[in-house]
Amino acid sequence: GLVPPSTSGCGRSAEGEVSSKQKVITVDGLTLNGPLHDNKAGELFVDEAFQIIMDEVVKKGCNIKEKVCEWKDPEMLRDLLDLELGDSSEPHEKLLQLCRDVARFSVKTNHPRFFNQLFAGLDHHALVGRFLSDSLNTSQYTYEVGPVFVLMEEVVLTKLRAVIGWNSGDGIFCPGGSISTMYAMNLARYRAFPEVKVRGLWSLPRLALFTSQECHYSVKKSACFLGIGLENVQLSMSITGNLFFSLHLAPQSFGAFDPLDEIADVCQKYQALAWGGSVLLSKKHRHLMTGIDRADSVAWNPHKMMMAGLQCSAFLLKDTSNLLKLCHSANATYLFQQDKFYDISYDTGDKSIQCGRKVDCLKLWLMWKARGTRGMEERVDRAFAYTRYLMDEMKKREGFQLLLEVTQFVNICFWYIPPSLRGQQGQEGYEEKLSKCAEGFGWGGVGGWVHMCWTAEVQEQGSFFLNQDNLTMYFSFSPCQASQLAISNICG
Amino acid sequence: GLVPPSTSGCGRSAEGEVSSKQKVITVDGLTLNGPLHDNKAGELFVDEAFQIIMDEVVKKGCNIKEKVCEWKDPEMLRDLLDLELGDSSEPHEKLLQLCRDVARFSVKTNHPRFFNQLFAGLDHHALVGRFLSDSLNTSQYTYEVGPVFVLMEEVVLTKLRAVIGWNSGDGIFCPGGSISTMYAMNLARYRAFPEVKVRGLWSLPRLALFTSQECHYSVKKSACFLGIGLENVQLSMSITGNLFFSLHLAPQSFGAFDPLDEIADVCQKYQALAWGGSVLLSKKHRHLMTGIDRADSVAWNPHKMMMAGLQCSAFLLKDTSNLLKLCHSANATYLFQQDKFYDISYDTGDKSIQCGRKVDCLKLWLMWKARGTRGMEERVDRAFAYTRYLMDEMKKREGFQLLLEVTQFVNICFWYIPPSLRGQQGQEGYEEKLSKCAEGFGWGGVGGWVHMCWTAEVQEQGSFFLNQDNLTMYFSFSPCQASQLAISNICG
């Protein structure tokens, strides 16, 4: 009879032998009912590799006594790693060694001394959520393929909306804040000019997009990608031409919040505005975002301060008119049949600009279950407390010059003043010398892993990874490290 | 002294006690050098949850004797799962039970009887690559943050380009084939009209986009998103107006290949065209894509037939003029400083429309290492052999009507003819009755998990997950299941 082989590269016994009762089926020289895949060997590999991941990444990567990174120049690293892909398969032990090498030479972004825009450290429960998502390998498009995750995504989005202050609305997880910005921009123009979907931008008046000087660069990227063009991105609120919408991002470097309520007053007669940020979880600090509920949409990246891990980015909407679906749907019949036996409003995939869409809600959901809303709130409050503490310490200590004496968020912008420059402030050439001072405390010397020499203890204990930009060495000192808050205002 | 606390929620001892030598630091009522996070408990959770993932997903999900899915209606499933996010944290055992529940009620997309567009089964090495990527939690934007992955991505992209037949070029991993389509479209218009980046579409002549009747719906989604508009998507190659570019996708339902060389002849005087597909890995079958090397860009999704897991999507370019960077860069100084101590051409993040970008190359790389190019090739050849076999069987058996007697790829389109309709072909109302026959073999009755009754053995062994679309019940019977090949033609 026609015995269906186990077709997915799994489901076979380890032996994978053709049973004596079965007829051997051969097509094109391949035995179809022969062994496809050795599941037992595969499972053994997963088991052993998991131990390496636990030891080399989860444990060692979080150990303050270990290095943040074993730095190598690109040319040297290329020689050390065996990256080339050849014709033949590599043996089990070699593959495990490759995993060790990848871990060894990668930056430990979970390390307590790793300070960078995007990262806040490791949450073990979120990590399990990621492993479980990976193993189930679901696409978030229809209820029949992702029943648990369709329901879960809606619960998580509803919770995030509630934190903003909306008791209804819509939303979607998408691959990062920049793409959330694009969603916001596309929806704003569709709401103002629904004909854009069919007729394109040529049928519309020229549109302008308002943002702030310190906006995140995704606003510019989005304007280019969506066909709006950089010259139509206005860096002030002077209202001329065809006002279209405005996007505003909280400055990544300075961590300052815009006065949302004031902006809303300006924008409301045109449309509204949108923002986001984990600060909303804190009863103590959410006043920084007073007015957020007047936004039309919010881009919130729990992969940053909330520690869910990349990628976990929620795009949230106040809209209840099904704008997301109307704007993005293409009604592909091979996925979104209209004659299913269940309520097809659960087939949310057509709201997305993607087709296959990764499950990004589970890691956040599981972490939230493990912490509770109160635990998430404490994480944010702690970040603020650490920041205040560090700022106070910097004011007391020699060798630090704060750019701003007060910070609103968890970013601190400062200069490190090397001993040779101390007391020279105001003198000619001081600023220029200072701007090159990164080298003075290790930049370059240790391959970019800035050894912060501001306390002897720190120097002894290991390396920092510290972000440098052209203007400032900014340093966010908190368990939930500050980072970009993707905050978008839409004035449609 | 100022002892930096371990700031990332990890790196503390399990006890986390403030040592007697340290001064207790309190800010805003929070003890900053107190315990942040119990690493030992976190590691225990990862360990125990990993066993659940291994047992309930990796092993059981691949076991042909287990169910593909325990189907529940949305309302019932919502009651069964404890999805709501509350104020308090849940205890360890409850969290593990939640993981079991998620696994239990999710569709096992790795199951040998799961047949759907996107999925081809579980590759254990790719899964390890995903776990390792998750744990390292790197963003693929600069060499200093992702040294291993910047080099690895380039090696993998180079390999994929070599398979196409290009010995130079560019590329990027992006979140899915639909977004690859958007990249292709945006690059094509930028190459033809570089002023679009600054001035927007208003400064350009009206553009048209050519594709085929059976194109993937991402072409339409992209045209809307990029401001081009649906009415400018032309479903034929009649060349009128301002020819811009054409995108073509291999029809997902039928699995037919377009004559690339002929299309290239038409397009070449305007620009070129672009395609992709794992069939290129097979010496035996790659003739289906003769002409692929004449394309300008290729969207190739190794998360489908190659089994790398969602998301793994490579957008490949023949271009060597740095088009990807020129078109998408925004030169954010806080990420892409010009004064680094290493060659900043390794900071590839500004080629992307994203900011933070997930590492998607490692899972493909590790799987390729484990299989070798020859192993990948055999996987494709087997898929073809299974398809031929199934088609032959269907021709022999009663109750099946093939839409096409020959298939080019690994898709088979067929009607299942229920006993009551057999022999009635050509009679009035036959087509309409047939189109509703899904119910005849279980659609609806078992909650959408179509029990294919075409052999008694299959019925006994378990359920199928089978895709239904309005026209056909198509069924792809292969270890590397056929699915959409994202193939894009650009005629600029």
**What string of DSSP letters covers A16-38?**
-PPPTTSPP-EETTEETTS----
Greatest mean pLDDT among A292-301, A411-420, A424-433, B316-325 lies in B316-325
Report the pLDDT averaged over residues A24-52: 85
Tell whether B179 and B323 lie within a shared domain: yes
Residues in A 240-259 with any Cβ partner in B closer than 8 A: 252-253
Residue A130 and residue A363 in contact, taking contact as beta carbons nearer than 8 Å: yes
pLDDT of residue B258: 61
Tell whether A359 and A389 lie within a shared domain: no
Q: Do A95 and B355 touch (CB under 8 A)?
A: no
Please, which pLDDT band fits residue A272 given cuts at 50, 70 and 90? Answer: very low
Per the listing, tokens 């509350």 go with: B86
Chain-centroid distance of CA B154 in Å reads: 19
Task: Specify which residues B250 forms β-bridges with.
Answer: none
CA distance A148 to B71: 10
> What is the per-residue pLDDT across A455-476, written as a single tens digit (0 to 9) for each?
223 323 333 334 333 222 333 3
Task: Specify which residues B297 forms β-bridges with.
Answer: B317
Q: Which of A215, A228, A132, A138 is nearest to A177 (CA)?
A: A215
Burial class (CB in 10 A: 0-12, 13-18, 19+), A259: exposed
B370 contacts on A by Cβ (under 8 Å) = 45, 89-90, 95
CA distance B153 to B150: 5
ipTM score of complex: 0.85
Q: What is the DSSP string of B62-119?
A: G-TTS-S-----HHHHHHHS-----SSPPPHHHHHHHHHHHHHHS--TTSTTB--SS-
CA distance B101 to B122: 21
The strand pair at B243-246 and B208-210 is best described as parallel
Tell whether A364 and A389 lie within a shared domain: no
From the list B113, B311, B374, the residue facing A87 with the nearest CB is: B374
Residue B170 and residue B348 in contact, taking contact as beta carbons nearer than 8 Å: no
Question: Touching check for A97 and chain B: CB below 8 Å?
Answer: no
B49 contacts on A by Cβ (under 8 Å) = 128, 131-132
Q: Which of A68, A316, A264 is nearest to B4 (CA)?
A: A68
CA distance B446 to A148: 18
From the list A200, A386, A454, the residue facing B7 with the nearest CB is: A386
Question: Touching check for A90 and chain B: CB below 8 Å?
Answer: yes
CA distance A472 to B71: 55
Query: 3-state DSSP: chain A helix, strand, coil percent, rounded to 5?
Result: 40, 10, 50
> What is the per-residue pLDDT across B420-473, written as a single tens digit (0 to 9) for each?
778 888 888 887 776 665 433 332 222 222 323 222 233 233 333 443 332 223
CA distance A68 to chain B (A): 11
In-domain check, residue A16: no
pLDDT of residue A140: 92
> What is the per-residue pLDDT across A161-219, written as a single tens digit (0 to 9) for each?
999 999 999 999 999 988 998 998 899 889 889 999 999 999 998 888 877 666 677 88
B105 contacts on A by Cβ (under 8 Å) = 147-148
Residue A363 and residue A307 in contact, taking contact as beta carbons nearer than 8 Å: no
Per the listing, tokens 């693929």 go with: B140
**CATH number for A397:** 3.90.1150.170
Tell whether B310 and B450 lie within a shared domain: no
Task: Specify which residues A297 forms β-bridges with.
Answer: A317
Tell whether A356 and A458 lie within a shared domain: no
Tell whether B84 and B171 lie within a shared domain: no
Question: Touching check for B105 and chain A: CB below 8 Å?
Answer: yes
pLDDT of residue A89: 96
B interface mutation test: which of A128, A160, A392, A471 has the most B CBs within 10 A? A128
In-domain check, residue B20: no
CA distance A199 to chain B (A): 5
B132 contacts on A by Cβ (under 8 Å) = 49, 53, 57, 99, 102-103
CA distance B31 to B39: 18
From the list B32, B54, B196, the residue facing A389 with the nearest CB is: B32
Report the pLDDT averaged over residues B195-199: 96
pLDDT of residue A53: 98
Tell whether B355 and B423 lie within a shared domain: no
pLDDT of residue B5: 37
Bigger pLDDT: B414 vs A356: A356
C-alpha distance from residue A234 to each of A168, A183, B198 (Å): 31, 19, 12
Residue A100 tokens read as 């060790």
Question: Touching check for A33 and chain B: CB below 8 Å?
Answer: no
Please, which pLDDT band fits residue A279 given cuts at 50, 70 and 90? Answer: confident
Range of B77's domain? Answer: 39-67+70-106
pLDDT of residue A99: 98
A interface mutation test: which of B31, B56, B78, B128 has the most A CBs within 10 A? B128
pLDDT of residue B13: 35
Is the pLDDT score of A123 beyond 60? yes
Average pLDDT, chain B: 75
In-domain check, residue B462: yes
Torsion of CA A352, A355, A361, A363, to 10 degrees: -150
Tell whether A160 and A295 lie within a shared domain: yes
pLDDT of residue A349: 87
CA distance B371 to B377: 9
Chain B residue nearest residue A6, CA to CA: B112
CA distance A481 to A382: 10
Greatest mean pLDDT among A153-167, B299-313, B371-385 lies in A153-167
pLDDT of residue B288: 84
In-domain check, residue A132: yes
Residue B487 and residue B277 in contact, taking contact as beta carbons nearer than 8 Å: yes
Cite the beta strand spans of B287-340 per DSSP E. Answer: 297-300, 314-317
In-domain check, residue A6: no
Q: Do B106 and A155 touch (CB under 8 A)?
A: no
In-domain check, residue A480: no
Tell whether B350 and B457 lie within a shared domain: no
Instruction: Give the 3-state secondary structure of residue A275.
Output: coil
Residue B77 tokens read as 């499933």
pLDDT of residue B297: 86
| Amino acid symbol at B399 | G
Residue B123 and residue B304 in contact, taking contact as beta carbons nearer than 8 Å: no
CA distance A464 to A462: 7
Q: Do B125 and A176 touch (CB under 8 A)?
A: no
CA distance A433 to chain B (A): 15
Per the listing, tokens 């892909």 go with: A85
For B170: left if phi > 0, alpha if psi spans -120 to 50, otherwise beta; the answer is: beta
> What is the per-residue pLDDT across B287-330, written as a single tens digit (0 to 9) for each?
888 888 888 888 888 988 888 999 999 999 999 999 999 999 98
CA distance A441 to chain B (A): 14
How many domains does chain A fold into? 3
Per the listing, tokens 């490190």 go with: A416
Residue B27 and residue A391 in contact, taking contact as beta carbons nearer than 8 Å: no
Please, which pLDDT band fits residue B188 given cuts at 50, 70 and 90? Answer: confident
In-domain check, residue B43: yes
Residues in A 457-476 with any Cβ partner in B closer than 8 A: 457-458, 465, 467-471
**CATH number for A225:** 3.40.640.10
Residue A114 and residue A475 in contact, taking contact as beta carbons nearer than 8 Å: no
A interface mutation test: which of B137, B463, B481 has the most A CBs within 10 A? B137
B211 contacts on A by Cβ (under 8 Å) = none
From the list B10, B61, B448, the residue facing A341 with the nearest CB is: B448
Residue B418 and residue B441 in contact, taking contact as beta carbons nearer than 8 Å: yes
Residues in A 419-438 with any Cβ partner in B closer than 8 A: none
A120 contacts on B by Cβ (under 8 Å) = 8-9
CB pairs under 8 A between A and B: 640
B145 contacts on A by Cβ (under 8 Å) = 107, 109, 116
Question: Touching check for B489 and chain A: CB below 8 Å?
Answer: no
Q: Which residues are within 8 A (CB) of B225 and not within 5 positions of it... i.e. 6 or more apart? A: A182, A186, A225, A226, A328, A353, B182
Q: Which one-letter DSSP state was computed for residue A153?
A: H
A interface mutation test: which of B334, B378, B388 has the most A CBs within 10 A? B334
Tell whether B319 and B437 lie within a shared domain: no
Q: Which one-letter DSSP state was computed for residue B474?
A: E
Question: Touching check for B404 and chain A: CB below 8 Å?
Answer: no
Tell whether A166 and A299 lie within a shared domain: yes
Per the listing, tokens 């070449």 go with: B268
Tell whether B258 and B192 lie within a shared domain: yes
Question: Does an H or E element contain A218, and which?
Answer: helix A217-225
In-domain check, residue A488: no
Bigger pLDDT: A71 vs A76: A76
CA distance B176 to B304: 10
Q: Do B232 and A375 touch (CB under 8 A)?
A: no
